[in-house]
Structure 1
Amino acid sequence: MSNENMGSIETLVVATLGEEATRQTLDMLAIDPALLAERGDTVSRAAFAMALNVTLFHDLLRRVPSGAAYVADTLARDGKVVFDHGALRSIRFPDGPTGALPGGEDAFTRIFLPLGYEMAAVYPLDRLKMTGRAYRHIDYPETIPQFFLSELHVDRFDPEFAAAAGRVFGTSRDPLDDRARAVLTLFSAGEAVRVADAIAVLPVLLSAFDRQHEPPGFADYQLLLSRSNEAAWIATEGNGFNHATDRVADVAALADRLKAEDRPMKERLEISASGRVRQTAFRADSVERLFADGELRRVPGSFYEFISRDIDPETGRLDLAFDTGNATGIFAMTSAHESAAR
């Protein structure tokens, strides 16, 4: 992979992941040729957004062996992954930031909006005491992955929960530095960014999709878990990708095949109210995480999801919507090991 033959996306990803990991990850993904063709001394917001998603996909597979095994099998069948969306979770305190980190979705809208995303819809997740929002890319809505960003509302829980949440999440740092903020400001103004600046900033933005707070105390973790599987998950995993999603032609047929192969599948298919969006997933892989007492414990990690989208007859375009019921059902994938931390 010689520098003179690389497009902007490859250049950015190689600088972040290295040549071998970049080649492997790009070989997995079906990326819009127009995005891959971009070259030059500057980088557009769309190319940068896609490069960020490539690095996030690589990170997700690194943490989710079941997803990595599925992708390897897909490649062996001469297939590619159509990266539909990634999901992440955040914490919203009643007032102010989360430690040094902007509260809830604000920690990520300051990244998404400058990179060309817009909020497409709001999805109340009342059973989970959360709100989900879909962010869709303005320039390439069907081919740059969406983000499904949810925030958990601490003020919807009891004071004991709020106190534990304050102790855990109040230690959060802000991963963005001045150079990253300057690049986001340029993108927000509609300007292209110099390749050297984009290369410097991509790892910083990638680091935003991680845990920003200190390892939780085990008693606080157990208290959060007693009220909310999602809060407990954020306590150990932070703002890491909760899942990445493969857009496939027939998710029902795929689910049947994967179940027959004894993969760790969700039992039931989630079908949207419109019938046009159908989803399923692997159960979350368990991971070892360090707690404040110095002990490593096994907890639910992230997972890999599958989705099929039909054409919306009203628009004649792919239905890129989500569904509150689907999302609530998919969120349960990280609560499969409720007593795993011990």
Structure 2
Amino acid sequence: MKFEENNKLSAVFNRLFKPYEERVPVVDKIMNAMVAHGIIDERTDIVNDHIAFRTLGVPHLGVSSFEKIFLHYGYEKRDYFHFEGKKLNAWWYSPPAEHYPRIFISELRVEDLSENARDIIHSYTSFLMKDPVDELDLNDVEAVGDFFEKSLWRLPTFEDYHQLNIESEYAAWVIYNRYYLNHYTISVHALPKGYNTLAQFNDFLESLGVKLNDAGGKIKTSPDGLLLQSSTVADMVEATFANGKTTLIPGSYLEFAERRPLPEFQHLPQSEILRKHRRDGFETGNADKIFESTFTTQTKR
């Protein structure tokens, strides 16, 4: 995935995607196969539906901190989502121009966890006395890019990671992976005929040996039937913990979305259907299962 570097927001996205693609081998596998099968000519042909980040809901961090980066670049905060079982809040953000992806940012409701889990998380984050984003020059592309990979807290021990993982796999993911891009999303409906439905594209992915998240079914469908989503199971990355232990843990993954035309536009010829004619936003039920792309129920099956 690459954006034309004609402005600072494009440059930020290009800076963000480089470490993501290096850490998620399935991206190369899928992109190379799409080119080989003539689905796309090059990676820049891909339409990016949205990107997603995970955060911890603690003082000076969380969504209220992280969103400042994208609000600065013209994004607008939209709908709120509540995930009761996973103890998460989330919001999505619409882009300043249609060729940029939507953004989905979630945060863990840390105070809803057990005392032991809260204590572990606070032991890493309580030293923060102010919002680190406030210290960023948001017009400095390199500084913003570095921030996504910055160690805002010390490297966790394996024991702390393991304890968090028992209670909240989301918490464990963030305590190690920090603000690395959690996933980006291919707009399947923008692909050529034969691959432009999620059912067709999933068949293509599985023919490549790509393992899909099957939580709630391989295709997660909104109640109105207009937003369909699938995702790969997270690639495993080698993690080295503070006490020197090294093991494989879930990293990031790739998502796929099909946004169907709204009822009032379904009469339009395919060639005339624009982004504004399609289902926008997100769906709690879909997102709830997409989160599980990094969970052991998926990575170890």
Name the TM-score, length of structure 2 as normaliser: 0.83
1:180 aligns with 2:142: no
Which residue pairs with 1:303 in the alignment?
253
Is 1:160 the counterpart of 2:113 in the alignment? no
Work out which of the residue numbers 232, 235, 245 in structure 1 matches 2:172: 232
Preserved CA contact (<8 Å) 1:60 1:244: no
Corresponding residue number in structure 2 for 1:19: none
Retained in 2: the 8 A contact 1:121–1:134?
yes
Q: 2:230 matched to 1:280?
A: yes
Question: Identity over aligned residues, as a percent?
Answer: 28
Q: What's the CA shift string for 1:25-67, capped at 9, x where partnerless?
A: 54xxxx6xxxx595xxxxxxxx322332233233221110011
Residue 260 (structure 1) aligns with:
207
The answer for unaligned runs of 5 or more in structure 2 is 190-196, 266-275
Cα pair 2:68 2:133 within 8 Å, conserved: no
Does the aligned pair in 2 maintain the 1:177–1:204 contact within 8 Å?
no
Provide the residue aligned with 1:328 in structure 2.
288
- Partner of residue 195, structure 1: none
Alignment deviations for residues 152-185 of structure 1 (CA, whole Å, 9 cap, x no partner): 011111111110111233466966585615x3xx
1-side partners of 2:228 and 2:299: how far apart?
A: 29
Alpha-carbon distance in 1 for matches of 2:75, 2:163: 36
Q: Match for residue 123 of structure 1?
A: 81
Tell me the equivalent position of 2:33. 73
Cα distance in 2 for residues equivalent to 1:339 and 1:219:
20
C-alpha separation between the residues in 1 aligned to 2:186 and 2:285? 19
d(CA) in 2 for partners of 1:286, 1:213: 22
Change in CA separation of 1:239 and 1:333 when aligned onto 2, cut-off 3 Å: same
1:169 to 1:339, Cα distance in 2 relative to 1, 3 A: farther
RMSD: 2.4
Partner of 2:269: none
Residue 233 to residue 259, structure 1, CA distance change in 2 (3 Å): same
Match of 2:67 in 1: 109
Amino acid at match of 1:65: P
Residues 54, 92 of structure 1: alpha-carbon distance in 2 compared, 3 angstrom cutoff: same
Distance change (3 Å), C-alpha of 1:103 and 1:179: closer
Q: Look up the equivalent residue of 1:120 and give its one-letter code.
A: R
Listed one character per residue, the Cα deviations across residues 249-279 of structure 1 (whole Å, up to 9, x for unaligned) are 2111111221233212223211112211111
Tell me the number of residue pairs that the alignment of Structure 1 and Structure 2 aligns.
Answer: 273
SS, match of residue 55 in structure 2: strand
**C-alpha distance in 2 between matches for 1:300 and 1:59:** 15
Instruction: Please tell me the residue identity of whatever aligns with 1:64.
Output: V
- What's 2:49 paired with? 84
Q: Deviations over 1:212-242 (max 9, x none)?
A: 2211122211111111010000011011111
- Letter of the aligned partner of 2:285 in structure 1? G
